[in-house]
Amino acid sequence: MPVVINGSTGISGVDGSAGTPAVQGSDTNTGVFFPAADTIAFSEGGTEAMRINSDAQIVHVAGTASLPSVTFTGDLNTGIYSPGADRIGFAEGGVQVGEFDASSNFLFNSGYGSVAIAYGCRAWVNFNGTGTVAIRASGNVTAITDNGTGDYTVNFTNALVDANYAVLGTSGQSAAVNNMNCVGRNLDNSVQTTTAVRLYNLVTNTSGAVDNPNIFVGIFR
């Protein structure tokens, strides 16, 4: 039976429900109830709004882009919600702007008009290909192997998921001749692996291999 405090049903000795919470104020369908052992739940307007489960996790409602379940004071249509099972969505101004989908892909809207998978650069490098090869700056590249004139292997720090990636590159030198050359990839697929890719820096007018001081390579997947 409810315990009557100050003339209202304030605390009860029952578990209650979302429609009739065990702990309530004058608004009798808003308060705290206990849906299972070691579980505390909160209801608003007769509907469960949040709970703390038996593993001490705070469990929110899924929410929507216009009403994200995790939001901020003064900006209630911006925050985090779940658009579906195993998905995390991000909203700004009531509109979805990003998501981690059920396949662990990251989707975002960067002015393209819709949320789509972001295909990132998995590795990149800026290096001097003359003399002793030297990396100026890089991402996910551990070393450059000099195999001979204009012949380099880019070694990845972290292996890619497979060898079906795209290799983009260019190169240049300060001399008047062959100021900009192309980085051409060896057509033998055996040199494109999950841990490295072998490249030939070719002079565009002769297709001969040449060392260049400025070589830039990007790996996309």
User: What secondary structure letter does DSSP report for 106?
Assistant: E
Identify the sign of the CA torsion 193, 221, 158, 145: positive
pTM: 0.63
Coil vs helix vs strand at 79:
strand
Q: Is the pLDDT reported for residue 189 higher than 50?
A: no
CA angle 55, 43, 78 (to 5 degrees): 85
Please give the pLDDT value at position 181.
57
Question: Is residue 152's pLDDT more than 80?
Answer: yes
What is the b/e burial string over 63-89, where b = at least 16 CB atoms within 10 angstroms of the residue's CB?
bbbeebbebeeeeebbbebbbeeeeeb
Residue 197 pLDDT greater than 70, yes or no: yes
d(CA 149, CA 142): 21
pLDDT in tens, 41-78: 999 999 999 999 999 999 999 999 999 999 999 999 99
Average pLDDT, the chain: 86
User: % helix / strand / coil in the chain, to the nearest 5?
Assistant: 0, 50, 50
Q: How far apart are CA 1 and CA 22, in angstroms?
A: 10
Across 129-143, average pLDDT: 95
Phi/psi of residue 191, nearest 5 degrees = -95, 5
Q: Closest Cα partner for 23 from 45, 50, 43? A: 43
The percent of residues above 70 in pLDDT, for the chain, comes to 84
